[in-house]
Each structure stands twice: as C-alpha cells, then as structure tokens.
Structure 1
Amino acid sequence: MRWLLAILAAATAAGAAVLWVATMPRGLPRDVLAAWPEGDAGRGEAVFWAGGCESCHAAKGAKGEDRLKLGGGLVLATPFGDFVVPNISNHPEDGIGGWSAGDFADAMLRGVSPEGRHYYPAFPYASYTRMEPQDIADLRAFLATLPAVEGRQPGHDLGFPFNVRRGLGLWKLAFLSDAPAVTLDASDPTVARGQYLVEGPGHCGECHTPRNLAGASDFARWLAGAPAAEGEGRVPNITPGGDLGTWSAGDIEYYLETGFTPDFDTVGGAMVAVQENMAMLQAGERAAIAAYLQAVPAQK
C-alpha cells in the first residue's frame, strides 16, 4: 500500500509541476522583440481611435482634449466580479510612461504585465492578439505624446477563485488565439481590412458576441449580440441576420460617421463613445468596417 501511495503522491506532484509550468505568464520571444519596429505617433493616432482606448480609460463623459487624459477608473461589473480600468496615461509611476516597447507588446499580444503577471481578459488582449506589430508600435508612440495623469487606480474586486491570476494561464491555453474569428473570402481587400479592424484593434466582438461559461467569446455566434456590460439591456446583433439586416453598407458608414441610423434615430448608451471614435477614422476605414459587417455569417 505504501508504494502505491508513494506513486500517487509522485504523480500528483509531477502533474502539479506540469500545470505550474504550463500556466506561467509568457511574453513574446526575445527574437521577436529584438526585431520590433519603431513606432510612428502620426500613424498611431488612427490606431488609437480605431481601438477606442479613451472609451474605457478616459473619464466618463469626457469631451474634447479630456478624451486624451487616460487616467482610468471606470468599473466594469461582471459575473466574475468588478474590474477597475487602470491608468494608461504617460505618467511614469501611475500609468505606463515607464514601460518599454517590449512591456507594451507583451501586454497587448500576450496579456502579460511588466511584472510578469497575467492580465484579466477584461482588458481585450484576446482581440488585440490579432494586431500587427507595426500598429502596436505606432499606438505606443502616440500614447507617449498624451498627458500624464496622476493617480494609480485600485485593484479589481474579485472573489475566489477568480482572484487567482495563475488560473488565467489555463484560460489562455484554451481560448487565446490570433486566428480570425470567422473565415471569409480574403480576395476582397476592403473586407479583409474591415476584418482586421473589427476583430483586432476595434475589438467589436468583445461586446457584441455572447460568451461561454469561462467568459470567452463564442465564435459560433460571432457578433450575434450579448448582455450589455452595464448590466441592463442587450448589445445588438450586428450581423446581416440581426439589427443591421436592412441596413446598406452606406447606412452603416453614415451611422459610424454621424451617429444617425437610417430611421433618423441617434446612437445611445456605451455606443456613443464608440461612434465618436469611429468618426475620427478615414472614410475608407469606415467603409471597410461596413463591408466586413455585411460579409460575416448571419446570426439569428
């Protein structure tokens, strides 16, 4: 009996060691970081608006230049607990002003902090992992030009077991991927550009796609609508089978530019900030997003 217990104990210890190693936070390989491109702040501004960084990281209701003060503080109430949006301003201690290019790349593509800890996917790196290195480098260059905002935000308010960050290593093994959310005909460059913008920096699926029990996007129901992050109502189905089913590509473009629907209703709720960001893009980018939304599989 003793030998059997010893074998079981050894197997348990070996399994725990394998699990510990498998769930370690891992940044980008050194050779990738060694070849990391230089960023351009001018190009990075477009990435900033496409990504809607200010929608979460600026003060609620911020207008004008205040939209560029990224001190954080927004609380995202979820079934897993409350997530507090951090300060990502250029402040060297309270924000990300002291981060290296590698720190920023690891956060965006791998969900790993400069201290080597897993970030929770309330920070939408599950979408950002599809972004091109040049866009990430450009975004960092633009963020470095923005005001430094004092004040470090408090930590998240999560109960057990969600407060055990190491478990996110398993979540990443199961769900983190840079593969496209849907397979489309890649021959149309406009649709391809729209797919990149929506699935990558725009991270539209983070709100518009239902989630499974682990909190990961259900790609079988891509963009089919989901409960609103604010806790009331629903985020609409934006596939051809849903709320945009009767809209033309021009209708979608006009809505993203002006906030007006084909029925002359106006944008509301959390989408107000998103639409204001989309209005900052070049017209061709909005056209690409519209083309993609009309090309995705229809969901009821």
Structure 2
Amino acid sequence: MLVARLLRIVLICGLAILGIGWFATRPEHVDASIVEAAVPDMERGETLFFAGGCAACHSAPDAEGGDKLKLAGGRKFPSPFGTFVAPNISPDPEAGIGAWTATDLANALLKGTGPRGQHYYPVLPYTSFARMSVEDVVSLHAYLATLPTDATPNQRNDVGFPFNIRRGLGIWKRLFFRDGWVVEGDLTEEQQLGRFLVEGPGHCGECHTPRNALGGLRLSAWLSGAPSPTGKGRIPDITPGGLDWSEADIAEYLKSGFTPQYDTVGGDMADVVANTSHLSVAERSAIAAYLKAVPPSGK
C-alpha cells in the first residue's frame, strides 16, 4: 500500500514537472491583429532586405549578380551543434515562403517560431531581428514578395541528438533570447540609427561576438571577435579596442570594400559589403558612428 502510494506521488510529480516544462518551452507568437493593422513601406522593406543580408545567406551557393535575388537557399552553415542549411525563402508558394502571411514572417523573425508552431534554430538570427518592429517586418514581407520565385526544394539540416529536439530550443530561448539593446546610454540620433542597424537587422553580433558553450552570445564581450564556426581563423574584433579605423574609414569600407590600407574585402565579408553598399550614405555613417561608441574590448 505504501509503495503504491509513493509510486502515485512520483507519477503525479513527474507529470506536473513535464507539464510545467512543456508550458515553459512553448513557442511564442506575435499578435496577429497588430501585424494585420501595419502598413507596408516598400522602400523601408528594401533597406531592411539589404541591411539584413538576406541574399548573403539565402541565395544559392554559386549565385552571382542578379541571381543573388533568387533566394533558393542551399548554403551550409557548420556549427558545433551540426550543419544547418539555409532554406528557400523565395516567393515560390510551395518550395519557398510565398504562402506565408506577414504574420508568419513576424513570428519567424521576432519570435523564432515557424508557421507550424515549431521553434526555429537561432542560426536564423531572430535574437537580433527581434529588435525590428512589426512595421519593419510587414515592409520586408512586402518587398520579399516582389523577388523572383524559385522552386528549388529545401534540404534537411544535419543536426544530431539532442539538438534535433526542437522543443528544447524553448529552454534556450528562455536563457538567451533578449530583445533589448546591448549598448545603452546617451547616444546621438545617428548612433541610435547605427545601433538599430547593427544590433537589429544587420545582426553583426551574431558573428563578431563570442558564444558560450550553449551557443548564447556573451554580451559582455559584444563585438570583440569570435572563433570562426568553420574552425578556421577568427572573426575580428570590431570594437574601438580592436579596430582603429576612423568613422570615415568604416563607412567607406561598407560602401566599396576598401580598407584604409587599400586592401579589399574578402571571405564572408564580401557578401556583407555587397549588401551594405546598397544602404544610404547616412545609414553607413550611422553604423560607423555606432561602432565607435561601442565599449572597447580592452585588447
């Protein structure tokens, strides 16, 4: 009798813990009524497309020129947790996201939640995109719909146990998903614009900031450089402690890819500059002003 009673207590406690865990790790969604009330701004959407570097990740691996606007996916991104493959986000209604509503896109970019209610892996940098507004996402959705369709099917990620358990990402989000600003304080309007572009759609910190063992950004070392996910080389420190370029130098680099030493951009940064070159002079200058305002790494 006593054993049976203890077993019932253990079972009840176990079910309660599972229920709490299931509730705590549930995917979150935006308020659809707020999204539906937003009015798209096509010019804003185009700016966010290039600021966010959408083509750098979602165009085909061998895409060049105008083909970079065909967001067929297929690029592979290795990490300590597995290899992720960028999906097709062209307006194709079957292979891509042509059937997505603006609310679907808002859930993905602002909450890391897919149309089927699944958690997305943070290889989609929603921890940065969450700093965008609903109006920003609605504008981006409208712009994406104007791009060429592509019927290339998606490839599966190569992610093993336990990282293939998507529900576990709910715990990761609880630990590391923060949508506030990293750099606070008394910033000028120009620096605030730069902060939005860098910390938000530009998601610069996703590469230039080191991560902890669980893949969360070490915000105390913001933009101070990080090991390359490929295991080769290091992504540079772009705080004033590691980058001694002037604001004009940084702005020019983001436009032309030329360094102050007249070297040219290479590697993954070539894709970044291909996008930032589409931004306005004011926007590139704002990025430079913000980077000079970031606390130095101390190197």
TM range (shorter): over 0.9
CA apart distance, 1:298? 0.3
Partner amino acid, structure 2, of 1:26: E
Judge conservation of contact 1:73–1:87 (CA < 8 Å) in 2.
yes
Question: Bigger shift: 280-289 or 56-65?
Answer: 56-65
Counterpart CA distance in 2 for 1:152 and 1:96 is: 12
Spell out the pairing of 1:1-300 with structure 2 (5 A cutoff): 1-2=2-3, 3-35=5-37, 37-186=38-187, 188-242=188-242, 244=243, 246-299=244-297, 300=299
Judge conservation of contact 1:72–1:153 (CA < 8 Å) in 2.
yes
Partner amino acid, structure 2, of 1:159: G
CA apart distance, 1:12? 1.4
CA apart distance, 1:22? 1.1
Judge conservation of contact 2:32–2:103 (CA < 8 Å) in 1.
no
CA apart distance, 1:30? 4.1
4+ aligned runs moved over 6 Å, structure 1: none
CA apart distance, 1:5? 3.2
Query: SS state of the match for residue 34, structure 2?
Result: helix
**Unmatched 5+ stretches in structure 1:** none
**How many residues in Structure 1 have an aligned counterpart in Structure 2?**
296
Judge conservation of contact 2:45–2:141 (CA < 8 Å) in 1.
yes
Q: Residues 217-268 of structure 1, C-alpha deviation per residue, up to 9 Å, x if partnerless? A: 11010001011233311110000001x1x21100101111111111111111
Counterpart CA distance in 1 for 2:60 and 2:208 is: 23
TM-score by length of 1: 0.96
Root-mean-square deviation over aligned CA pairs = 1.2
Counterpart CA distance in 1 for 2:31 and 2:47 is: 27
CA apart distance, 1:63? 2.5
Partner amino acid, structure 2, of 1:229: P
Query: SS state of the match for residue 158, structure 1?
Result: coil
TM-score by length of 2: 0.96
Partner amino acid, structure 2, of 1:178: D
Q: Residues 189-221 of structure 1, C-alpha deviation per residue, up to 9 Å, x if partnerless? A: 000000000000000000000001111111010
Query: SS state of the match for residue 83, structure 1?
Result: strand
Query: SS state of the match for residue 257, structure 1?
Result: helix
CA apart distance, 1:61? 4.7
